[in-house]
Amino acid sequence: MKKTALSLLCLAISLSTASADDVIKGAMKKNFKPEDAIAKKVGKGEATDAELDTLIKCVQAICAATPPKGDKAAWVEKCKTMVAALQKVKAKDASGISEFKKANNCKACHDVFKPAK
Ligand code: HEC
């Protein structure tokens, strides 16, 4: 149940056909890709506490999902690193932002976990 609620949080956009497989895609489209995506705001030190909470829950939800490619255990590790960095940012620990930026390397993660088209 908890997992479902978290997934929905990630997919709060208009994804009426949300399924477990779409959790990661939905999260990417909503919280990573847009110019004003929370993941980008965090990198600039502009995310509010509420936005940080949203992103933390979102990353926890994709952590529970299985990426289309790559090793699940490595995926969980990666997501956990992101969550830990976000929690530091929220606790106003200055190292959090640089740790998050390092973990949120779009290409590095896509190379391993996102299938080529
Ligand atoms: C923790 C790993 C990870 C990070 C970091 C990450 N992504 Fe992704 N991203 C994925 C995975 C896995 C997929 C493939 C999801 C699928 O096909 O189900 C994906 C897919 C996408 C997609 C395609 C969504 C779709 O509709 O198919 C976009 C766009 C995207 N990512 C943007 C970004 C951007 C921009 C960043 C950096 C700011 C980023 N991602 C960082 C793991 C990551």
Cα Rg for the chain, rounded, in angstroms? 13
Distance CA 88, CA 96 (A): 5
Cα 55 off chain centre by: 6
Name which residue sits closest to atom 5 of ligand 1, judged by CA.
104
Name which residue sits closest to atom 13 of ligand 1, judged by CA.
114
Q: Is the dihedral of CA 72, 21, 12, 37 positive or negative?
A: positive
Q: What is the pLDDT of residue 47?
A: 96
C-alpha of residue 48 to centroid of ligand 1, in Å: 22
How would you write the pLDDT of the chain (117 residues) with one tens digit per residue? 455 555 555 655 444 445 666 899 999 999 999 999 999 999 999 999 999 999 999 999 999 999 999 999 999 999 999 999 999 999 999 899 999 999 999 999 999 999 987
Give the H/E segment covering residue 108: helix 106-113
Name which residue sits closest to atom 7 of ligand 1, judged by CA.
106
The ligand 1 atom nearest the CA atom of 75: 1
